[in-house]
């Protein structure tokens, strides 16, 4: 079963600062609905004889098209339609995440480097699951530390984030603060990949190597041109 569910704790002593990676804090969980989706996708791919299988998990037809109305890291409203024409990678995380979020973003930077010129056709959307702390400025600074040219931070109201998470079967849970002001956020860790038309196509997990992700992204980009 794919490792799609993580629990992470904000670091002690700095509840208002983005965290640095700390692999020892990672705890992995399985989330049955998304894992079941991955299993169904494997069966679907096995039944297709018209094209070679994707190296990532094929979720075509299992998840809805990219659609949202959120607030960008520039403080302005943004719609999913703004990214039509690009291959879009969507990740749900938060800036205080001590390990899996920065590790995932760093891995996606490796993917962009491997894509070369094709990277210009890729956008990364970092959607917060911690809107209480992740202001537009906090998100702007966070994604900018990785790649301001390709990555955008997105936030919204609690209701907007909850609705979007439900749409894509993303699990997350905010825990109560401890006396030091720390709290845990348990969240799914998959990267959702949408084609240039906004259709959900692939799912990448933290077990997928940058080479694997780059291979499928290049194939998707070439098929859309």
Q: What is the CATH number of the domain that holds 106?
A: 3.40.30.10
What is the average pLDDT across 142-167? Answer: 97
Q: How far apart are CA 61 and CA 70, in angstroms?
A: 24
Mean pLDDT, the chain, as a whole number? 84
The pLDDT of residue 19 is 46
Q: How far apart are CA 130 and CA 92, in angstroms?
A: 10
pLDDT tens for each residue of 62-84 = 999 999 999 999 999 999 999 99
Taking each helix axis from N to C end, the angle separating 210-223 and 100-115, rounded to the nearest 10 degrees, works out to 50
Q: How confident is the model at residue 46 (pLDDT cuts 50, 70, 90)?
A: very low
CB 189 within 8 A of CB 104: yes
The pLDDT of residue 225 is 72
39 is in an annotated binding site: no
The pLDDT of residue 203 is 98
Q: Is residue 5 part of a domain?
A: no
40 is in an annotated binding site: no
Q: How far apart are CA 11 and CA 32, in angstroms?
A: 28
Q: Is residue 30 part of a domain?
A: yes
The pLDDT of residue 34 is 55
Reply yes or no on whether the pLDDT at 8 is more than 50. Answer: no
Q: Is residue 138 part of a domain?
A: yes
The pLDDT of residue 182 is 79
The pLDDT of residue 180 is 82
Q: How far apart are CA 86 and CA 184, in angstroms?
A: 33
187 is in an annotated binding site: yes
Domain span holding position 132: 26-223
CB 188 within 8 A of CB 5: yes
pLDDT tens for each residue of 97-125 = 988 999 999 999 999 999 999 999 999 99
The pLDDT of residue 37 is 55
% of the chain surpassing 90 pLDDT: 68
Q: Is residue 1 part of a domain?
A: no
Q: How many domains does the chain have?
A: 1
Angle at 91 between CA 116 and CA 183, to 5 degrees: 135
The pLDDT of residue 114 is 98
What is the average pLDDT across 143-156? Answer: 97
Reply yes or no on whether the pLDDT at 10 is more than 70. Answer: no
């Amino acid at each position: 079963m794919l490792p799609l569910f993580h629990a992470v704790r904000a670091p002690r002593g700095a509840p208002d600062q983005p965290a640095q990676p700390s692999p020892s804090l990672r705890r992995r969980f399985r989330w049955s609905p998304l894992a079941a989706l991955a299993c169904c996708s494997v069966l679907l791919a096995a039944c297709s004889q018209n094209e070679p299988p994707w190296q990532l998990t094929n979720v075509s037809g299992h998840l809805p098209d990219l659609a949202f109305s959120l607030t960008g890291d520039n403080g302005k409203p943004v719609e999913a339609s703004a990214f039509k024409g690009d291959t879009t990678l969507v990740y749900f995380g938060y800036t205080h995440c001590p390990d899996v979020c920065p590790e995932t973003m760093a891995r996606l930077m490796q993917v962009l480097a491997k894509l070369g010129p094709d990277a210009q056709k890729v956008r990364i959307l970092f959607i917060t699951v911690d809107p209480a702390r992740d202001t537009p400025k906090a998100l702007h600074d966070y994604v900018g530390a990785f790649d301001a040219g390709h990555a955008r931070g997105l936030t919204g109201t609690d209701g907007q984030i909850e609705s979007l998470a439900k749409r894509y079967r993303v699990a997350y849970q905010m825990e109560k603060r401890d006396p030091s002001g720390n709290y845990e956020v348990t969240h799914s860790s998959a990267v959702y990949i949408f084609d240039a038309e906004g259709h959900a196509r692939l799912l990448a997990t933290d077990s997928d190597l940058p080479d694997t992700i780059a291979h499928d992204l290049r194939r998707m980009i070439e098929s859309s041109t």
